[in-house]
């Protein structure tokens, strides 16, 4: 059977016209600063309906003829990220130079638009610090429970502590009650966050069961009430910092309502909406639907940050260029790979992205371990860093052997000696597997 791409289109086959400048998308979709995006063209509406949920849209184009606006998904490709060079016209050098740009979120001004996404269990202070070093312009804590912030504030201190080099960071809260969320936001004052993010995307049943996380998308009015309450607290107790919402495409394929939820959130005062373009039902599997990001970016008067399937610098370029979103959020693509921020910035600025060598990868992992040990103690850090080290060394010759040994390392000294042995064996040579 021939390989069919999503919606039956062979991977890589253009659905429509060649990519135009994304400024064209913006100009056509926004007039006088008001969103005017509508999918009015019957043929393209059918096409977008067909592609709903599972097509990777790697380009959008707006045509503006006789005042008609069309929204055309250009190209569906199951492997578009490998095809980035061709997609961008055969030469990365042709990419627009202003894809990396300063960004305003409410009264917060960022130097650039590359974010570290919130990721519970990964985006602790140590990792955020390393990502800032490599160029992340905004970092998010993993989700913090509004209930426990009020009832047992000490339990959240570790999650909330700001890294030394972290001048700008965002705290993500989850909860289902506007009163509790507002009160929890007020408790953030000593941490001086620059932004409070509301989680409306976590698919874990332990959150959704009581109406928090992605369950908020089932009740846009409630989501709006929570945003309004947190915005009020941010104004009264946190110096007027902006409030954002991170959401999914919807609860499941039958209720894709990101546009409705985002509109409600923005009307309630959200200054940024981040969209993880998968449904709650998809969890973290399947492809994210970047068309949703393009639709939202065209719809909202506030910046949209895109999330989903950003693994390499080229993916950031594609998402920014293809969807018109204001910022991108690296999540799994940054685990063990904080270098992706520097690579993405270089690429967006028209420079060659640099590949970190084995010594840099191992050395950075060790630094992260040391930072984490300072924060939570050596034993906990060594345990916690096992999964992260595996991500740092992924793909290096001898990584499997190193991985098998690292899972037994219980001290920083043990890590250091294992890693030194690995480097001394010349990881590029693949000799490590033979060392005793």
Ligand X SMILES: Cc1cc2nc3c(=O)[nH]c(=O)nc-3n(C[C@H](O)[C@H](O)[C@H](O)COP(=O)(O)O)c2cc1C
Binding site for ligand X (CB under 6 A): 117-122, 142-143, 172, 199, 201-202, 246, 276, 284, 288, 307-310, 331-333
Q: Are 324 and 25 in contact (CB under 8 A)?
A: yes
Nearer to ligand X, 203 or 427 (CB): 203
Q: How far apart are CA 290 and CA 311, in angstroms?
A: 14
Residue written as token pair 């840099």: 360
Place of tokens 């990868």: 361
Between 18 and 121, CB nearer to ligand X? 121
**Rounded CA gap, 207 and 189, in Å?**
25
Q: Please list the active-site residues.
A: 202
Q: SS3 for 177-215, per residue?
A: CHHHHHHHHHCCHHHCCCEEEEEECCCCHHHHCCCCHHH
Q: Which is nearer to ligand X, 44 or 334 (CB)?
A: 334
**Residue number with CB closer to ligand X (139 or 288):** 288
Nearest to ligand X of 51, 282 (CB atom): 282
| Buried/exposed code over 204-218 (b: 16+ C-beta within 10 A; e: otherwise) | eeebbeeebbbbbbb
Residue 90 CA to chain centroid, in angstroms? 27
Beta-strand pair 34-35/60-65: unpaired
The dihedral sign for the CA sequence 171, 173, 178, 179: negative
Minimum distance from residue 332 beta carbon to ligand X (Å)? 3
Indicate the burial class of 377 (C-beta count within 10 angstroms; 0-12, 13-18, 19 or more).
exposed
Query: Nearest approach, Cβ of 116 to ligand X (angstroms)?
Result: 9
């Amino acid at each position: 059977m021939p390989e069919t791409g999503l919606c039956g289109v062979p991977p890589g086959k253009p659905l429509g016209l060649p990519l135009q400048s994304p400024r064209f998308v913006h100009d056509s979709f926004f007039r006088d600063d008001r969103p005017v995006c509508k999918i009015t063209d019957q043929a393209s509406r059918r096409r977008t309906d067909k592609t709903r949920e599972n097509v990777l849209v790697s380009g959008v184009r707006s045509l503006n003829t006789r005042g008609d606006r069309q929204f055309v998904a250009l190209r569906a490709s199951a492997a578009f990220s490998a095809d980035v060079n061709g997609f961008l016209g055969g030469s990365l050098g042709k990419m627009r130079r202003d894809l990396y740009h300063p960004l305003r979120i409410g009264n917060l001004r960022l130097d650039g638009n590359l974010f570290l996404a919130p990721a519970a269990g990964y985006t602790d202070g140590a990792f955020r610090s390393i990502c800032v070093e490599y160029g992340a312009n905004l970092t998010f804590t993993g989700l913090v429970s509004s209930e426990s912030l009020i009832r047992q504030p000490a339990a959240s201190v570790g999650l909330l502590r700001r890294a030394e080099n972290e001048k700008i960071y965002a705290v993500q809260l989850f909860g289902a009650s506007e009163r509790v969320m507002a009160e929890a936001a007020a408790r953030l004052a000593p941490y001086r966050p620059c932004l409070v993010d509301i989680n409306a995307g976590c698919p874990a049943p332990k959150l959704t069961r009581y109406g928090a996380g992605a369950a908020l998308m089932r009740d846009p009015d409630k989501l709006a009430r929570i945003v309004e309450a947190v915005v009020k607290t941010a104004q009264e107790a946190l110096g007027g910092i902006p409030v954002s919402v991170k959401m999914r495409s919807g609860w499941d394929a039958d209720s894709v309502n990101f546009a409705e939820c985002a509109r409600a959130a923005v009307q309630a005062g959200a200054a940024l909406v981040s969209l993880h373009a998968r449904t709650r039902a998809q969890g973290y599997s399947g492809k994210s639907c970047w068309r949703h990001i393009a639709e939202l970016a065209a719809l909202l008067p506030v910046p949209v940050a895109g999330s989903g399937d950003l693994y390499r610098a080229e993916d950031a370029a594609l998402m920014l260029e293809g969807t018109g979103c204001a910022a991108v959020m690296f999540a799994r693509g940054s685990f063990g790979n904080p270098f992706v921020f520097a690579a993405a910035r270089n690429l967006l600025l028209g420079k060659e992205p640099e590949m970190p060598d084995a010594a840099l990868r191992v050395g950075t992992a060790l630094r992260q371990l040391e930072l984490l040990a300072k924060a939570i103690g050596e034993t906990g850090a060594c345990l916690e860093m096992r999964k992260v080290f595996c991500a740092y060394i992924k793909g290096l010759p001898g990584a499997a052997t190193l991985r098998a040994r690292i899972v037994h390392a219980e001290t920083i000294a043990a890590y250091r000696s294992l890693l030194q042995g690995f480097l001394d064996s010349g990881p590029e040579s693949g000799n490590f597997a033979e060392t005793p």
